[in-house]
Each structure stands twice: as C-alpha cells, then as structure tokens.
A and B are shown apart, each in its own frame.
Chain A
C-alpha cells in the first residue's frame, strides 16, 4: 500500500505565485525555446494521428463499404469519434475486438467471427480491413486469415475484402490512407483490365482530404470542363449526407464497379502526391492511360496548372465559365490584398495541404514564416523550400520538419506572426499569442460546417482570402480605440 516509491510523506503544497509568474514568462523565451528544441524523446502536442485513421477515411469513401479494424475495439472507437467530431456525421465501422487472448493466440478467431457478424448485420458490399497495433506486433497474417475465412464460409468467396497493414508506430494517418486506398484499388480492379478498352474517363484522387466541399468542387469543375470522371475515394456524400428522417449507413462513396473499371481509364490524376505515393506508384505500373501526380490545387497558379493539365489530357479547352471564375477570384484577391499583404503566418498540417498553404500565401504577398510539419520528409522540405525560394515573400520562411505544436508555440512566442493556419489543435497557441487561427486543416472540432466550404480551386481561393482578410479587419474593429473606429475598412 502506498508510497512504494520511497518518498517521504510531505504536506500538500500550493504553487508559489512568483514561481508561477516566472515559469509563465520563461516558457515564452529564447532560452526555453532552445531547451524545447533540444528534446529528443518527448513529443508534445503532435499534429498527426496514426495510420488506421487514414485507412478508415479511405474505406468510408467507397460505396457500401464497412471499415473493419483488426485489433482492439478501443482503437475503432477513437478513429470513429475523430471522424464524427470533424464532420458531425456518422462514421460506422466495426472492429474484431481483440483482447488479451488474441495477443496469445493471434486474432484469427476474432477476425472470422467479426466478418460473419458484420456481414449479417450491416450488409456491406465490401469490408476494408486495416490493422491497429496489436496484430501488427504479434505478427498476424492477414492474407492467410482472410483466405481461411473464405474457405470456412465466414464470408462469401467472392466478397471483396481489401486489407492493409497500417501500423501506428510508423508514418501517420496520411500513410494509412495510402495503404488502404492502394489495397482497395488492387482488390477491385483485379482482373478488370481489358486490352484495348478505354472508359474515356478521368480518374481523380483527392488524397487525404477531409473537406467535403473540395470533393464537390472537383466534381463541379470537371462537369464545367465536360470531362467524364470517376472520383476515386469520394467522401463527399458519405460525410455530408442529407438529414431527411432516414439513416443511411452507406450514403455515398465511389461506386465499386466504377472503381473496378477505373483501371481502364483515359487518365488518372492524384492531387495528393504525399498521401498517395504508394497508390500512385502502383497505378503508374498498372493503370491504362496517362498518369499524373500534381499538387492539391490551392491558390490561383496551382488551380491553373490543374485546369491546363485537364485540358491537355482531354483535348478540351478550358471553358469561358472557368475563365470568368478565375477572373472573379483574381478580382476578389485584388480587392482584399491590402489586408493580407506582408502578414506573417505560421503554418502546420499534412504535407499536401502545407504545400497548398505556402503557394496560396505567396500569391497573396503574405509571408509563410514558420512552416512546420509534424510528420514530414526531406522531399517535402525541399519542395516547400523551392516554393519559398521562388518568391520574394518566401525569403524569411523557415521550415521545421518533424516538429510538434509545442515547438511551434516556442517559435510563435519568440518570433511572432500575425496568424496561424492549421487545425483545432492550434487554438492553445493562438490564444496565448493573441492571434487568429484559421482552421483549414484536419481536424476541426470546434467550429461548424467548415468542411463544407471548399479550399481548392478558384472558389477555394475566394473562401480562404475572405476568411483571412475579414478576420484581420474584425481584429482592427475589435481592438482599435474609438477615434480609429471607422465606417469603412
């Protein structure tokens, strides 16, 4: 009982006020920053989750698909509730509820029983299986387990069961997305390639993108261009479904037969190169038609490139309507530029989004200043650096790879910026720094409906610039003295 640590029994103490004041100031100093940046083992407030979360997102994105976690049930509850909170939508997924005996005997029995139950109860068209820590560590052989499940009749022989190993001790949610998507496409397209057949369609992959508005915007743009398409891993109707009195467990997603036929496409574009590197590598080797990997179209220039690429691939000119849309976006940013020009930003997020933020800000004459990726790579660092190097507004920008939000706090407190672009987790820093946070990233737990407002394309430029500039104007209105409180801004 008690005191096994051999500590002396001491009185309950209160914090000394001067000590609290000293530490409160100290954590904002250069000295603290130096200590903070020298830590090697402790990670504080990381801006990334683990692989299976991304795998679940990819699984939800296909018609009638039930995400299936091979591992402990608590894992599934964590992923589901994260998606519930961000989208404010259902996120049905099952787990095979492995427990201690699973660790001893392996998870095959759990997997088989779960397949049988989930198939009977939730009538999916496909179950997409991915792993959490336990089976990864004990070395469960999914290939064999699934083969056995079919043989023993727990699941029909031809029922699609893509599966991916998504260890949480490697990479981030972005990599889990990639692995799951790859397995889904491999499973669905197997044996579907037909020599000489071309669907005439574009296959578009958005990458790990939790903005349903972006998906709708891609579809709208492609319709404007008159390009037939298959949006692979389409979450727009899944995580933005109507409330009409009926609960639909599988309200959307890419049709399975369309996904199967995507291997015969005319062209495939991924707009999330960092979130789909494995998938794209495989597509290049296996899909018919042209293959393009290009950045997520944030900002005018990257949207231009996207449209020009589409025009080139499909031999169609960019229509007048999109030209006008571009003009309106340029008009919007020109009208607004004075409220953002020269402002310094700290940025963090997933690689594809981060590149998007940098391009967009540079176009606006704003300064991407502290650029931080919690799970990045040298390649990402180089790509961002080349964007910074190409613009006079990028010359002060500094990249921090594989750092966390406690590092970012030190950066912002010692070398201030005007705002942060990130996700909900940044709100403690912006509160301490007294600056705004723009929640363009994932997840957003504390604002409503932001995921419905697209960030990509020309419309996305207008949305971002409007959010940012009006916030800066609000700040002027809220903080200026009476003499400077004016009718016009």
Chain B
C-alpha cells in the first residue's frame, strides 16, 4: 500500500463533508438517510472503505446502475466470441446490449463469432403459456444455422424468472440432444441491486457448467496463466495478452474478452490466474484457488507506473527467468512511455479529474492520470462492494470525495463545487457535463477509442485525455454576445 499520503490543495475532510451535506439537503428525509452512508471523504491511510455499498438503489434518485442481466450478458458472457448468447425474454434487453460495450472480437461474424442479437422475443402468449417450448425450439434452430458455435448461453430476462420457466431443465435436455454446451443463466434483471449479482451468477454458471469440461491439447508449462477480468474493450486484451507473452508467460485463456469457451473450460489447468477486473470475476478466481489450488494475483495495466509494478510482481512470482524478461520489457517501453509523458504532461499537469465508473476503473485508472500529472479529486462506483472501496482508499488522495451509486443530482452538485478539468464516467453522464462546459471521456467504452490497457494503450489514453481537456472547442463555449 502506498505510504505517501496524497493531499489536494483546498480539500479537507471538513470541506468534503460539508459539500456532501449541501448535496443531501435537497433530499426528503428518508432519501437523505439512505444516501448519506454512500458519500464520504476518503481516509487514505485507513486503507478501508469509507462508504456503504452494494445496497439497493434508492428509488427515484436517477442512478446510473444497470441490472443483473446487464452484468451477465454485457459483461461476463457476452464477450465470449464463439458462443451464441440468447437474450431470453422480450426483445429489448438484448437489443439495448447489442454491440454497446465495445468488447471487440476476432473471427467471422455469424460464422465463428456471434456478436449479434439472439433473442426469444417473448410475446404475450409466451408470458401466459411459458417460454420453455420456444426455448427448446430456438436452441435447435441456432445449432442448425450456426454449426460452428461452440456453445449457447441462455440469459434470462425478468419475465422468465417471474413466470416460473425452467430454463435449466430445457438447457440440460437440449445440451444432450444437440451435443453442445448450453448454459442456463438465471440472471433476471430484478435480482440483486446492480450488475454485480449478474457477474456473480455468471461466475457460478461457469463454475457449474463450464470449468473442467476441456483440457488444453498442448503440454503444460510452469508459465501457463489465465487473464481474468479482461474484456477487450477497444482491443485492451490485444495489448495485455501480447505484453504478458513478451515477458515469457503463456496466456492460455482470456476471461472473457475476445473469449473462447473451450479455453475458459480448460482454465483449471493453469498455474496462475491474473485478475484485472476484480469485481466481476473474483468469484471464479477464488473457486479455482479452493478447488484446484491455483493462486491468483490482482494486477493493474493502466499507465506505465502500474504496468511496471505489475510486470515486476509477476517476475517476482515466477522467478529470475521471468523477472529478467520483465525488466527487459520494462526497459524497452519506459523510454517510449517517457516520451508520451514528456509530450502530454506539460499540458495536463495539475489538472483535476473526477471519476465515476463501474467496478474497477474508479481506482485502477487513478495512477494513470497521475502519470500524466493529473489529480483525482473524486471517485466512485456504480456497483462495487466493500472490498473494492477498501482497495480504493489507498489510491485516492486523502479527503477527496467518494461516492457510491451516485445519483445524477449528487454528481452534478459535486462537479459544480469541485470544478474538475475532466470527468471520466459513462454515456448517461457525458452530455450533462459537456453541456456544463466540462471536458469528458467515457471510461466504460474508452469513448470509442482504445485500447487503454498496457504499453500499447497508454499513448492512446494520454492522447485522448489531452484531446478532451485541451480541445480548442471549449474556448468557444462562451458566446461573445
């Protein structure tokens, strides 16, 4: 943990708390009571969570959260490229999540990758009579039309659970009939409080239906690893995987960015699991540790400081051969990274950023901004748990504001008061802050850019942040008349 306590000029625990109190004033009493524990000044030295999290969203406050289905389809299952993912239920959920996360895939669309929208398109009669028969039929149709698909996931939307369909029985039967892995995932949107339970349920289905069903064809080596919680947003995995290979590791599987189901199924054979997005996939890391004795390690591939630390950590774990390669790789890229910093840091030095993202980036990207000379003055998550906030405390400067499941009202108030030079959040927040004249980058989707991971990603990240903060268009916001 970081020993140095980071301070921001003008920000104290008192100033942050009074800002929070002012934002809470607008709430009715009940709402205020519910929201207050989710907002707090950071206590960097404590290394523990200063806010409550993973609680039900307060109705009517305008939360940015999604649902369990979004966590299952959008996050965990959706990126597996060689499977068909059926959005089981009405047409909407699958349609909204079709191509809107930027988990890029290799292969041929409709032949070897299935980044499409498959749905049972429930109608009134399916609600009344149940959708199991339809599901059985569509699984057969999918197999016939997409013979190279290596499996099918059945991702339940709200109605499926409410009307009492038994997708597990249908999947089991169809799996035998079609000789194909068919994974039932009861990830109805009403379950849990956010995307997070969808991640957990999906991890459980991988545990129950996928892991151990395959073995790698080639012989094992001591350097076999899996990269977990890397979703290939804007091609991130195409930066991190080669980097890990460059230091001598064999990346046998990526969960689940540009993912292949059979490799995921054989992951119980690796020697180490590297986890990037802890929130969405720690569950399976822990399962693999308990069941197969595979250790896991959390790493951070944002910005040269954290990348170098991560590579060294791997080197130390695997021993001199890998450590030496890691040092060589770091030495190779450091000058390139330094030139990026030399170019952008003078234009970004001292600029302030506020973050509000999903379950990882609100802490993992902080240091990448610091590599560029920027300071994080507020951060929070849509769907993190206490252990995420524990990990956040040390990364954030002391006394800065932490907000969990922030309402749009609170976020707007905080930004008004803190006047950051950049907000990094999602599509729902983007245009609000841009209208205020505040530079913004989408930090879920890399704003249609990327990759941001690894040495390949940092120059792009730096360019994008500079482009957002220093665009000459901001000088035109105030009209001269």
A residues bordering B, Cβ < 8 Å?
1-7, 9-13, 15, 19-20, 23-24, 27, 32, 35-36, 39-46, 48-50, 52-53, 68, 72-75, 77-82, 84-85, 88-100, 102-103, 110-111, 113-118, 120-122, 132-134, 137-138, 167-170, 172, 241, 243-248, 406, 409, 425, 428, 432, 445
Contact = CB atoms under 8 A, between A and B. Distances in A.
B123 A117 contact: no
A426 B241 CA distance: 32
Contact of A117 (B31, B98, B116, B434): B31
Contact of A90 (B60, B260, B431): B431
B317 interface: no
A221 B108 CA distance: 48
B141 interface: yes
A91 B90 contact: no
Interface of B: 26-28, 30-31, 56-70, 86, 89-93, 95-100, 108-112, 116-124, 126-127, 134-135, 137-138, 141-142, 144-145, 147-148, 157-159, 162-163, 172, 175-176, 181-182, 189-193, 195, 207-217, 260, 262-263, 265-266, 268, 291, 407-409, 412, 426-428, 430-437, 477-479
Nearest to B133: A41
A9 B100 contact: no
Contacts of A93: 62
A98 B430 CA distance: 26
With most chain B CB atoms within 10 A of its CB, the pick from A40, A118, A133, A445 is: A133
B214 A11 contact: yes
A244 B28 contact: no
B91 A75 contact: no
Contacts of A49: 91-92, 95-96
Contacts of A15: 112, 148
B182 to A, nearest CB: 8
B294 to A, nearest CB: 14
B119 A46 contact: yes
B159 A137 contact: yes
Nearest to A245: B437
Contacts of A40: 137, 141
Contacts of A42: 86, 118, 120, 137-138, 141-142, 145
A369 B368 CA distance: 53
With most chain A CB atoms within 10 A of its CB, the pick from B95, B181, B214, B260 is: B95
A13 B60 contact: no
B98 A9 contact: no
A283 B427 CA distance: 37
Contact of B69 (A74, A97, A445): A74
B247 to A, nearest CB: 23
Given A41-B120, A43-B120, A246 B192 contact: no
Given A40-B141, A42-B120, A100-B190, A246 B436 contact: yes
Contact of A52 (B92, B192, B215): B92
B162 A103 contact: yes
A116 B31 contact: yes
B123 A5 contact: no
A20 B111 contact: yes
A248 B108 CA distance: 44
A119 to B, nearest CB: 8
Contact of B141 (A6, A24, A39, A138): A39
B65 A92 contact: no
Given A114-B60, A432-B109, 5 more contacts: A6-B176, A116-B28, A133-B158, A133-B159, A245-B477
A50 B60 CA distance: 22
Contact of A7 (B158, B175, B217): B175
30 contacts: A1-B211, A2-B209, A5-B175, A5-B176, A5-B182, A5-B209, A10-B214, A10-B262, A12-B266, A23-B147, A40-B141, A42-B137, A44-B118, A44-B119, A44-B145, A49-B95, A52-B92, A72-B67, A78-B93, A82-B96, A91-B428, A96-B60, A132-B158, A134-B189, A137-B158, A169-B89, A169-B123, A243-B435, A246-B436, A247-B412
B127 A85 contact: no
Contacts of B92: 49-50, 52-53, 75, 78, 168
A138 B119 contact: no
A247 B30 CA distance: 27
Contact of A77 (B59, B64, B181): B64
A135 B299 CA distance: 42
Contacts of A7: 175, 181, 213
7 closest A-B pairs (Cβ-Cβ)? A74-B67, A114-B60, A50-B92, A114-B59, A2-B212, A78-B96, A117-B60
A45 B117 contact: yes
Contacts of A3: 209, 212-213
A120 B31 contact: yes
B159 to A, nearest CB: 5
Given A121-B407, A248-B435, A133 B215 contact: no
A18 B227 CA distance: 30
Contacts of A116: 28, 30-31, 60
Nearest to A428: B109
Contact of B121 (A36, A46, A92, A96): A46
A30 to B, nearest CB: 14
Contact of B477 (A39, A243, A445): A243
A53 B95 CA distance: 11
Contacts of A35: 144-145
A77 B70 contact: yes
B118 A43 contact: yes
Contacts of A170: 123-124
Contacts of B181: 5, 7
Nearest to A243: B435
B67 A73 contact: yes
A409 to B, nearest CB: 8
B212 A1 contact: yes
A82 B89 CA distance: 19
Contacts of B190: 72, 98-100, 102-103, 134
With most chain B CB atoms within 10 A of its CB, the pick from A13, A74, A99, A167 is: A74
